[in-house]
Structure 1
Amino acid sequence: MKISINRLKDFILLNQSSEEIADMLTQSGLEVEGIERFESVPGGLEGIVIGEVLTCEPHPNADKLTLTTVDTGSGVVPIVCGAPNVAQGQKVAVATVGATLYPKGGDSFVIKKAKIRGEASQGMICAEDELGLGESHAGIMVLDTDLPNGTPAAEFFNIKHDDVLEIGLTPNRADAASHLGVARDLKAILRSEVCLPSVKEFSVDNTSRSIAVEVENAEDCPRYAGLTISNIKVGPSPEWLQNYLKALDLDPINNVVDITNYILHDLGQPLHAFDADKLAGEKIVVKKLAAGTEFITLDEKERKLTGDELMICDAEKGLCMAGIFGGLGSGVSDQTTSIFLESAYFSPDVIRKGSQHHGLKTDASFRFERGTDPNMPIYALKRAALLIKEIAGGEISSEIVDLYPNPIADFEVAVKYRNITRLIGKHIEKEEIKAILTHLDIKVVDETEEGFRAIVKPYRVDVTREADIIEEILRIYGFEKVELTEHYSSDFLAEHPAKDGNKLQYRLSELLGGFGYQEIVTNSLTKPQYVEKAGYLKMEDNVEILNKLSEDLGVMRQTMLFTGLEVLAHNINRRQKDLKFFEFGTTYKKTAEGYQEDQVLALFLTGDKGSESWMEPSKKVAFPDLYSVVERLIEKLNLPELHMEIIHDAPFDYALALTLGKNPVGKIGLISAKVCKLAEVKQEVFYAELNWDYLLKKAAGLKKYEEISKFPEVRRDLSLVISKEVTFDHIKQLAVKAGGKLLKRIGVFDVYQGDKIDSDKKAYALSFYLQDNEKTLTDKVIDKTMGRLMQSFENEINALIRK
């Protein structure tokens, strides 16, 4: 949101610099993200002065050039000029050496001392296009002025300067979405007063053009006001209004529309002007139209209404999506002579729903969907009407229609002094508290020793609870005034030490990046057909979107699989087939209790392991390639040993289910071709989906690395013949238990199944790595450890050990 410092000073007396104002606002909760300099002419004509041509002679070496001497106020300088109309005695605009010019339709350039055809030139006599003031390049500008030589040209041309604050407005501060709203905060900070422009001179000229107004749904439109203005002349806005809009990055359109935009950014009250001659039946009706009704908006797009949008209609048709966007045929044009000016308060819910469904985000919807001031419409209407009369002429030709059957009451909040002290962490004097609230337009009534009732005006939609009142007190009092004490405490219990989920996620992302994986971010919305056709997810678990943008984005995803497969398909279709992706995201599911959200880490692996070369042929990725990465992630999180179970559940052809204790952690496996085909992926895809919430909860923080042992590592191999039903995970658990702290790692370097052993058996060739961090291992210790391992395998899994 952009705020003009010049306009802000019209509301409240400010002697501070723009930087000081920005700092005050940031400290109070309106974070100023930057300050931009606005100039009505690029460069502000800095370095351009009024000069007088003293002499004018032909250039000795060029027929079309003239030698002049010009009094610039600080001296007489020679200037070579190419304009045909330069003459002695003229007052001209002179760009002095060092000035930067911003010509219309060209690049900026700096004026330097030069020699032109052998003659010195120390400046430039300017045409209007060279100064950015117009399009003409027929000759230099000859000025009609008595201003002394050396006067800055910006003074003559009345160049306007402004500092514009860029405020990062948080969603709760709808009240501050205007110059008036920001001035209110400064009022409380500076203990000053806000001055609103007077509308006392407002009067109705006649009642020759009354428009009937009917509101069918007072719940969605609690207040609707309007009036007619006749005999106006639509045209360009005056320079001051255009400069105001340009400073806020708005394009001037015409005087009527510009005034409605001015009021919106000035007071936070959106207005809309209808061409009164285009209103069928001389009537305005606020209602909802039937679902499927076609409506063409100002951007010339045809939109189908859902039936939930609030519409402004005449006796025959829809004119405008209330509070969101105008219709194509009812707005103000150059031919308009009479208007109906609307000023209303709409329910935030109905505006938000319509805006989101149609993807229309406008300055009006931004304010209405957050909550505007229900007490502002009439003042804003009068203020706009007076400006229109002043700028576009015309006469107010109707009484103000104001339909407000159920006025919105102020909020009443009970506040205890002891709670103010408790939550702020510092005692603030009662008189200070009351002064802060009074300057925030919050009344303090029914005060006792224990507390009071706060009466809050309804434009403060974010101040409805005691905690909100206390927050208002603190942000104006100043966070920096609350001293830190030697002893810290809080009103809540937390796990210690606290885990930084963002840090852990960042470190895992770094690790995955080191393995060659690229991070993707996919849409949480997906196609309902995936669940229907995949067969392993339940349709009734889908979280369906009520205001769908399209059927392809109709439900929230139950799994990260399908959105990731779409990314794979996109890349594969562009001949990028060797892919490693990961994504941290959220899955959504409907349950009997309501809705369930889970944070998930998904990994995708497909294609070849590496590029083909003369040294090594290409090789397809395999299950161990993905499993080893997951294993390193688990190790990085310093988690206890996971248990694994082979499964053949959809969507996998085969997979491992990972558990920690009795709790599922995730699955790793090969996605079935049938499921891949749903996303048009025709090559093998290995996929892992891990429960990030649970991993984060159980993680003991990032693994801390120990000093590398100075003592050598010993490897011993064993060959086991075991039942096919025995998994490597089971063997690994037995080995860890029997080997103790000396066993550092275990690996499989061969697996055999064939006619040399029984058909229900398999043979594993295992390597065991032993190391003592304190001393060199002896043969006796090594043999003893290996003996325990062999005994455990023989007793627990009936292993036949080839000795």
Structure 2
Amino acid sequence: MKISINRLKDFIALDHSPKEIASLLTGSGLEVEGIGRFESIRGGLEGVVIGEVLTCERHPNADKLSVTTVDVGGEIVPIVCGAPNVAKGQKVVVAKEGSVLYPVSGEPLEIKKAKIRGEVSQGMICAEDEIGIGHSHAGIMVLDTDLPNGTPASQYFEVVSDHVLEIGLTPNRADAASHLGVARDLKALLKREICLPSVDQFKIDNNKRSIPVEVESAIDCPRYSGLTISNIQVGPSPNWLQNYLRALDLEPINNIVDITNFILHDLGQPLHAFDADRIEGGKIIVKKLPKETSFVTLDDKERKLSGEELMICDQKGGLCIAGVFGGKGSGVSDSTTTIFLESAYFSPDIIRKGSQFHGLKTDASFRFERGTDPNMPVYALKRAAMLIKEIAGGEISSDIIDLYPHPVSDLSIEVTYANIRRLIGKELAKEEIKTTLENLDIKLLSESETGFTVSVKPYRVDVTREADVIEEILRIHGFDNVPLSENLKADYLAEHPAKDLNKLQYRLSEILSGLGYFEIITNSLTKPIYAEKSGFLEVNKNVEILNKLSEDLGVMRQSLLFSGLEVMSHNINRRQKDLKLFEFGTVYFKEESGYREEKRLAIFLTGDRAAESWLAPSKPVSFPDIYAVVELILEKMGIDNTEVKIIHSAPFEYGLQIDLGTKELGKIGLVTEGLGKLAEVKQEVFFADLNWDLITKKSKGLKKYSEISKFPEVRRDLSLVIDKKVTFDQIKKVANKAGGNLLQKVGVFDVYQGDKIESGKKAYALSFYLQDNEQTLTDKVIDKAMSRLIESFEKEVGALIRK
């Protein structure tokens, strides 16, 4: 949100620099993200003055150039000029040596002393396009003015210079979405009064063009105001209004639309002007239209209505999506002579629905869906009508219609001094508290020794509880003005686990990054359709968002799978097909008893193992690649005694489930083709979904490096024929149990299934690494260890040892 310092000064007396104002606002919760500079003419014509041509002669060495002497105020300078219309006695615009010009097109031009065809030139006599005020380059500008020579050109052209604050407005501060709203905070911070433009001179000229209004639902539209203005002249806005809008990065359109935009950014009240001659039946009806009704908006797009948005209609159909966007058929054009001016207060919920359904985010919907001031419509209407009469002429030709059957009341809140002291952490003087609240337009209703009751105006949609009132006191008092106690304390002391979970996550991120994986961070909001079509997520466990930004971001995710697939799709579509990704993220579930969330670790793998090379052919990634990464994670985290089982359930074509005791630690597998296509991924994706909460809870901490043994490692191989149902994980557990401390590692380097062995069997070629850190192993010790392994395999998994 952009705020003009010049306009703020019309509301409140300010003698502070833009940086000081920014610091005050940021300290009070309106974070100023930047300070920009606006100039109605780029560069502000700095160094450009009014001059007078004293002499003008042909250049001795060039037919199309003239040599002039120009009085620029106390100094006469020679200037070589190429314009055909330059002549003695003219008042001209002169860019002095050292100035910088910003032409309409092209790069900025610094004016330097030069020799042009042998003649010295110490400046430049300017055309319109050369100083950025027009497009003409037919000749130099010749001025009709009595201003003395040397007068800054900025004075002649009435250059406006302004500082513009860029405020990162948080969603709760809808009241501050205007110059008036920001001025209210400065009023409290500086203890100065606000000066609102007077509407005392407002008057009704006649009642020749009354347009009745009917509101079908006072819940959706609690207040609707309007009036008619006839005999207006639509045209360009005056310079002051165009400069105001351009400072806020808005493009002027015409005087009527510009005034409605001015009021919106000035007071925070959106207005809408209808061409009164296009209102069929001469009546406004505020209602909903049937689903699938066609409506053409101002951007020439035909939209199908949802049936839930509120519409401003005439007797024929829709004129405007209320509070969101106008219709093409009823807007103000150059031929408009009579307007119906609307100023309303709409329910935030109904505006949000319409805005989200049609994907329309406008300045009006931004304010309406957060909550505007229900007491502002009539004042804003009068202010706008007076400006229209002043700028576009015309006459107010109807009484003000103000349908407000159920006025929104001020909110009464009780506050205690004890809670102020407890939440702020400092004893504040009662007078300071009362003065602060008064300056924030929070009225004191009653007071006692222990506290008080206040009345909060409805435009403060974020102040509804005692804690909110205390926060208002604190932000004006200043967060930095609350000293830290020597003995910090809190009402609640959380458990401090021995493990540093952040450090564990950071170290594991380093390990995965070292393996070539990239970390991603995705949105916790996701599409409801994923749960509906996933085959493994439950729709009734979706955590729905009440104030949805869009239907595509309507629920909290139950799995990290789809947000990761979306990242993959984005990259694959940009020819990045070999991807290794991981994400630490939270998933959310709705339960009968409330809500639950879990921290998960997701790993994604797709494409080829390595880029194409003449050294070796490229190979696609496979299941063992991602399983090896999961094994490494568990090993590094000190997780052992896991069990695995084969699964063929969504979201996997095939995969493994890893259990730790009775709890599921995670799943790994190949994502089904259908789920990949749901996120627009058309290549194989391997996915691991691990319960990070369980891992960190059971982890013994990251393994530390130990000194390399001085004694040699011994390898022995065995070939086992076993039942097809026996997994390598089972074999590994048997080996670790039988091998004891001597067995350091078990590996499988070949697997055979075929007609050379019995049906229903498979053969594993296994390697065993034995080592004693205290002494060199003897053949006797090695043979004994291998005998124990062979005996255990035969007994526990029914293995046949191949000689």
Same fold (TM over 0.5): yes
Alignment of 1:432-451 (within 5 A): 432-451=432-451
CA deviations over 1:527-567 (Å, ceiling 9, x no partner): 859955x7666677778999999999999876555676677
| Match in the other structure for 1:714 | 713
- Tell me, in whole angstroms, the C-alpha distance in 2 between the residues paired with 1:226 and 1:606: 60
- Tell me, in whole angstroms, the C-alpha distance in 2 between the residues paired with 1:479 and 1:678: 48
2:36 maps to amino acid: E
Contact 1:357 1:547 (8 Å CA) reproduced: no
- Tell me, in whole angstroms, the C-alpha distance in 1 between the residues paired with 2:337 and 2:632: 74
Matched position secondary structure for 1:229: strand
| Match in the other structure for 1:295 | 295
Alignment of 1:360-759 (within 5 A): 360-497=360-497, 511-518=511-518, 525=526, 528=529, 561=561, 578-582=578-582, 600-637=600-637, 639=639, 642-671=642-671, 684-692=684-692, 694-695=694-695, 703=702, 705-706=704-705, 708-709=707-708, 711-712=710-711, 714-717=713-716, 719=718, 721=720, 723-724=722-723, 725-733=725-733, 745-751=745-751, 755=756
- Tell me, in whole angstroms, the C-alpha distance in 2 between the residues paired with 1:26 and 1:246: 24
CA deviations over 1:464-487 (Å, ceiling 9, x no partner): 011111111111111111112232
- Tell me, in whole angstroms, the C-alpha distance in 2 between the residues paired with 1:5 and 1:543: 43
CA deviations over 1:334-387 (Å, ceiling 9, x no partner): 111111111110000000111001101000000000000011111111111111
Deviation at 1:28, TM superposition (A): 0.5
2:767 maps to amino acid: L
1:106 maps to amino acid: G
| Match in the other structure for 1:243 | 243
- Tell me, in whole angstroms, the C-alpha distance in 1 between the residues paired with 2:14 and 2:551: 54
Matched position secondary structure for 1:349: helix
1:116 maps to amino acid: I
Deviation at 1:400, TM superposition (A): 0.9
CA deviations over 1:580-602 (Å, ceiling 9, x no partner): 44456666767666776665544
Matched position secondary structure for 1:289: coil
- Tell me, in whole angstroms, the C-alpha distance in 2 between the residues paired with 1:465 and 1:549: 25
- Tell me, in whole angstroms, the C-alpha distance in 2 between the residues paired with 1:258 and 1:59: 50
CA deviations over 1:220-244 (Å, ceiling 9, x no partner): 1111111111111111000000000
| Match in the other structure for 1:48 | 48
Indicate the larger mover: 685-694 or 592-601: 592-601
- Tell me, in whole angstroms, the C-alpha distance in 1 between the residues paired with 2:552 and 2:28: 44
When normalised by structure 2's length, the TM-score is 0.90
1:766 maps onto 2:767 in alignment: yes
Q: Kindly tell me: are residues 364 and 674 of structure 1, through their superposed partners in 2, closer, same or farther at Cα, counting changes over 3 Å?
A: closer
Q: Kindly tell me: are residues 745 and 6 of structure 1, through their superposed partners in 2, closer, same or farther at Cα, counting changes over 3 Å?
A: farther
Indicate the larger mover: 225-234 or 143-152: 143-152
CA deviations over 1:300-358 (Å, ceiling 9, x no partner): 11111111111111122211111001111111111111111111100000001110011
- Tell me, in whole angstroms, the C-alpha distance in 1 between the residues paired with 2:203 and 2:679: 66
Contact 1:718 1:801 (8 Å CA) reproduced: no
- Tell me, in whole angstroms, the C-alpha distance in 2 between the residues paired with 1:499 and 1:28: 37
Contact 2:609 2:620 (8 Å CA) reproduced: yes
Indicate the larger mover: 494-503 or 714-723: 494-503
Q: Kindly tell me: are residues 377 and 759 of structure 1, through their superposed partners in 2, closer, same or farther at Cα, counting changes over 3 Å?
A: closer
Aligned residue pair count: 799
- Tell me, in whole angstroms, the C-alpha distance in 1 between the residues paired with 2:348 and 2:600: 34
- Tell me, in whole angstroms, the C-alpha distance in 2 between the residues paired with 1:31 and 1:569: 36
Deviation at 1:491, TM superposition (A): 2.7
Contact 2:750 2:765 (8 Å CA) reproduced: yes
Deviation at 1:12, TM superposition (A): 0.7
Structure 1 residue runs of 5 or longer lacking an equivalent are: none
- Tell me, in whole angstroms, the C-alpha distance in 2 between the residues paired with 1:397 and 1:22: 43
Indicate the larger mover: 281-290 or 267-276: 281-290
Matched position secondary structure for 1:329: helix
1:288 maps to amino acid: K
- Tell me, in whole angstroms, the C-alpha distance in 1 between the residues paired with 2:191 and 2:237: 36
Alignment of 1:213-224 (within 5 A): 213-224=213-224
Contact 2:31 2:167 (8 Å CA) reproduced: yes
Deviation at 1:450, TM superposition (A): 1.5
CA deviations over 1:184-232 (Å, ceiling 9, x no partner): 1111111111110111111111111111111110001111111111111
| Match in the other structure for 1:346 | 346
Indicate the larger mover: 442-451 or 390-399: 442-451
Contact 1:50 1:92 (8 Å CA) reproduced: yes
Contact 2:352 2:547 (8 Å CA) reproduced: no
2:766 maps to amino acid: A
Contact 2:356 2:548 (8 Å CA) reproduced: no
- Tell me, in whole angstroms, the C-alpha distance in 2 between the residues paired with 1:355 and 1:660: 48
- Tell me, in whole angstroms, the C-alpha distance in 2 between the residues paired with 1:366 and 1:780: 81
Deviation at 1:789, TM superposition (A): 6.6
- Tell me, in whole angstroms, the C-alpha distance in 2 between the residues paired with 1:320 and 1:717: 82
Deviation at 1:655, TM superposition (A): 1.5
Deviation at 1:766, TM superposition (A): 2.9
- Tell me, in whole angstroms, the C-alpha distance in 2 between the residues paired with 1:311 and 1:682: 42
Deviation at 1:619, TM superposition (A): 3.2
- Tell me, in whole angstroms, the C-alpha distance in 2 between the residues paired with 1:326 and 1:626: 54
Structure 2 residue runs of 5 or longer lacking an equivalent are: none
- Tell me, in whole angstroms, the C-alpha distance in 1 between the residues paired with 2:311 and 2:500: 48
Alignment of 1:113-192 (within 5 A): 113-192=113-192
Q: Kindly tell me: are residues 677 and 382 of structure 1, through their superposed partners in 2, closer, same or farther at Cα, counting changes over 3 Å?
A: closer
Indicate the larger mover: 65-74 or 585-594: 585-594
Q: Kindly tell me: are residues 245 and 562 of structure 1, through their superposed partners in 2, closer, same or farther at Cα, counting changes over 3 Å?
A: closer
1:719 maps to amino acid: L
Matched position secondary structure for 1:391: helix
- Tell me, in whole angstroms, the C-alpha distance in 2 between the residues paired with 1:286 and 1:499: 60
Contact 1:445 1:455 (8 Å CA) reproduced: yes
- Tell me, in whole angstroms, the C-alpha distance in 2 between the residues paired with 1:485 and 1:555: 42
Deviation at 1:716, TM superposition (A): 3.9
Q: Kindly tell me: are residues 95 and 736 of structure 1, through their superposed partners in 2, closer, same or farther at Cα, counting changes over 3 Å?
A: farther
Contact 1:668 1:689 (8 Å CA) reproduced: yes
2:325 maps to amino acid: F
- Tell me, in whole angstroms, the C-alpha distance in 2 between the residues paired with 1:678 and 1:58: 77
Contact 1:526 1:563 (8 Å CA) reproduced: no
Q: Kindly tell me: are residues 399 and 496 of structure 1, through their superposed partners in 2, closer, same or farther at Cα, counting changes over 3 Å?
A: same
- Tell me, in whole angstroms, the C-alpha distance in 1 between the residues paired with 2:371 and 2:674: 49
Contact 2:18 2:163 (8 Å CA) reproduced: yes
Indicate the larger mover: 285-294 or 30-39: 285-294
CA deviations over 1:698-753 (Å, ceiling 9, x no partner): 5666x364364474562443537474344333344455566677765443334455
1:53 maps to amino acid: V
2:768 maps to amino acid: S
Q: Kindly tell me: are residues 683 and 149 of structure 1, through their superposed partners in 2, closer, same or farther at Cα, counting changes over 3 Å?
A: closer
Alignment of 1:102-113 (within 5 A): 102-113=102-113
- Tell me, in whole angstroms, the C-alpha distance in 2 between the residues paired with 1:527 and 1:194: 48
1:11 maps to amino acid: F
Contact 1:352 1:369 (8 Å CA) reproduced: yes
Contact 1:223 1:344 (8 Å CA) reproduced: yes
Q: Kindly tell me: are residues 112 and 567 of structure 1, through their superposed partners in 2, closer, same or farther at Cα, counting changes over 3 Å?
A: same
- Aligned CA RMSD, in angstroms, stands at 3.6
Deviation at 1:632, TM superposition (A): 2.8
- Tell me, in whole angstroms, the C-alpha distance in 2 between the residues paired with 1:674 and 1:403: 54
| Match in the other structure for 2:305 | 305
| Match in the other structure for 1:25 | 25
Q: Kindly tell me: are residues 526 and 378 of structure 1, through their superposed partners in 2, closer, same or farther at Cα, counting changes over 3 Å?
A: closer
- Tell me, in whole angstroms, the C-alpha distance in 1 between the residues paired with 2:555 and 2:181: 39
Q: Kindly tell me: are residues 317 and 700 of structure 1, through their superposed partners in 2, closer, same or farther at Cα, counting changes over 3 Å?
A: farther
Indicate the larger mover: 659-668 or 407-416: 659-668
Indicate the larger mover: 661-670 or 579-588: 579-588
CA deviations over 1:427-477 (Å, ceiling 9, x no partner): 222222112111111122321122111211110000101111111111111
- Tell me, in whole angstroms, the C-alpha distance in 1 between the residues paired with 2:788 and 2:451: 74
Q: Kindly tell me: are residues 29 and 711 of structure 1, through their superposed partners in 2, closer, same or farther at Cα, counting changes over 3 Å?
A: farther
1:767 maps to amino acid: F
Q: Kindly tell me: are residues 748 and 126 of structure 1, through their superposed partners in 2, closer, same or farther at Cα, counting changes over 3 Å?
A: same
| Match in the other structure for 2:34 | 34
CA deviations over 1:110-138 (Å, ceiling 9, x no partner): 11121111111111011121111122222
